[in-house]
Structure 1
Amino acid sequence: MEKLWVPSLPILGGRMLPLLRHCCAVGSHHPLTWRSIFQTLGREQKQIRSWSAQCSAYNEGASVSEKDNPHKKLALPDKSLLDARILYCTSPALGHNKEAHPESNKRVPAIVDALEKLELSPKHRGSQVLEIQNFNPACLDDVARVHSRSYITGLEKAMSKASEEGLIFIEGTGPTYATETTFQESLLSAGAGITLVDSVVAASKLGPNPPLGFALVRPPGHHAVPQGPMGFCVFGNIAVAARHAQHQHGLKRVMIIDFDVHHGNGTSDAFYDDPDIFFLSTHQFGSYPGTGKINQVGQGDGEGATLNLPLPGGAGDYAMRCAFDEVIAPSAQRFKPDIILVSAGYDAHALDPLAGLQFTTGTFYMLASSIKQLAKELCGGRCIFFLEGGYNLQSLSSSVADTFCAFLDEPSLAAQFDDPAMLFEEPTRKIKEAIEKAKGIHSL
């Protein structure tokens, strides 16, 4: 059987490395081709065809084995790491798609288009913004540090059924679906996070201001529990990266900040008894999946290393500014992380259809800027964002673009996108009560 094609080295996209650039359009670097998938599933969207047409081929039914997918040592020039302000990877998972599903394969292309239109892409920023292309998928050992072997092998075996039926729903996981490419594409998305950890850590050894990383990947990961997928999520991308940072780089103390509108129950479960990974989640009270109660603080050796801050419906910019100043920053300062990883969900935006918070583009700019400063003060600037939710393509793409602006220390573009008329008064009393309760439980 043919094995999944794995490139030997990552490639940086951008003006400053012209000899290493692919001759494809922005976003079309993905090392898999989806021509047969689109024929099978009947996809006809013009944008997606333009992405898939320029990708390299692989054999249908390919599998990944440990011996065929060793980690390659990154060969990124020191100069590129010193000059860069942002390193990012994209894994659009074009074959993992269900028509009319909110977690669709249009999400990452919409972000890439926005970065291009707002002149935040490597094409416009040269050495400041670099895209790492042709990175390796995660190997099975990487994923098995978070998920059970039985789940991993079971999902791989399910790909033949997905190939026959075009699309399957994974039993017992809610609305989580799979297509024939889901296994390979999920490994690739997890591999993007690993690659960014390697790159940002390497850069931090060269100077005091390493670039920030952003894994623009799907399917998302923070709901995927150790025993299986859940809530649109297949593998826990951020959890896999956290374990990699510990095992590969000796970064013992990892802080994970999750500002997705939904509680990151999968990430929480993976580290609930681990004192060396501090998991902090802000999310809408009562939202899917119903976990993340304020009194859930970890167990055993990990007691106190989980902090949940459920916010009332209608919470917005005021709530997150208070949460950052009074809960997130003090928690990080006390924990003293070696690296900060961020589950960046953009579904708390006021325009997002799947929840009831009212963040704005400016809220996400504030969070990105504040977390960047926190990482600079506490862990040598080592910080990587991972795309989680965000299902209104307009608010998702503009908010990620403004996150890039924050990373670059440039003014926010929020005024171009945010309409104050869409907002209503935040429930300040309930917000203050939730924050004070969290502070009391965790002695902040």
Structure 2
Amino acid sequence: MPHSPLRFGVNYTPSQGWFHHWLDFDLDAVRADLDSIAGLGLDHIRVFPLWPLFQPNRTLIRPRAVEQLVQLADAAAERGLDVNVDGLQGHLSSFDFLPAWTQTWHRRNIFTDPDVVEGQAEYLRTLAAALADRPNFLGMTLGNEINQFSGPPHPDPDPITPEQASRWLRTLLDACEEGAPGRLHLHAEYDAAWYQDDHAFTPAHAARIGAVTAVHSWVFNGTAQRHGRTGTATEHHAAYLIELSKAWATDPHRPVWLQEVGAPAPLVPAEHAAAFTEATVANALDCEDVWGVTWWCSHDVSRSLADFPELEYSLGLLTNDRQVKPAGEAIAGIVADRRGTEYRPEPRTTALVVDTGDDDTAPRRSTCAPGGAFFEAFARLTADGARPTAVLASQVGNQEHLAARGITDVLTPDQVR
């Protein structure tokens, strides 16, 4: 069944100072940014406090920083924008932001050390409680792709097991719920959770823990390199992740939030960003149970800031001086066309069997990655117009599960030619 209303938003990247704007918080500049976002017709933003600035000591959560976050949320409300807050930043655009009390002389595993986890819980609980009475507060995301700290390719990882990852997720989501009961609290990982065999954060975690499943779709992960800018697998990558996530969901209609998706240059050149945006969103909205689409990102990163990967400078829907770019025009057009229409895609009746071994730990999940047997078979079916979804091998004989999802035809990857 559809989960309505379908939401369209953007990950808010401040035009002045990027996320370092928290150091010199300027509410007027924030308001101007939010005006430009609201002008695209969007209804929500995802916001990123920098963890070391908000909690510089394990027992110090700066009241002034929390107050500024609330001011930002109130400014968003004035412009009709709801707010989701990512707490543990964590990692953003190739930079890590971890507080000193977890590093060097105080080096502790951020997922398993009891004092660190207690400090994280108090921090998330405090942010959630500060916003709990705001009607436009959607809820908390634990952090931005914080799973990247749990193993390779991070240069200094905090290794954990899937069981430890599960405990960490549940502990911190409970803290968010204590701070703001009944809101949409979730966690979000980058695609190693779906594609990397030995990664501690698993598809089962993503699809079974938290209020919704979040997927982050980036075609620079080998998809666009292998299939090209207009390849079926590239333009359908977001839709693929949405459908892949459903294989592990125990709720047949669990909402899925496409929480990050963008048009990365040079794989998607600037002159093709609008077309890629239109195709990606259209294909994602051909999936059932989509909670919403939140584009990365609102504003370009200023060229005055050094050392970002080149693609990070140009991902905005708006320029650094708040001018709408072609991708922004495309998103605004999609929002305008969808306004007042019902979101009700047809069920996907053909399911491709995904076999990653044990369902909980998915030891063979690289089959789902670009170049993997499942990924490539899914792309071939999609190119043939089959509109596939995914089903776990363990569920193929479960007629109740198949019926609840509307699946009438099941194929294995080796049956796809």
What interval of TM-score do these two structures reach, taking the shorter chain for normalisation? 0.3 to 0.5
**TM-score (structure 2 length as normaliser):** 0.37
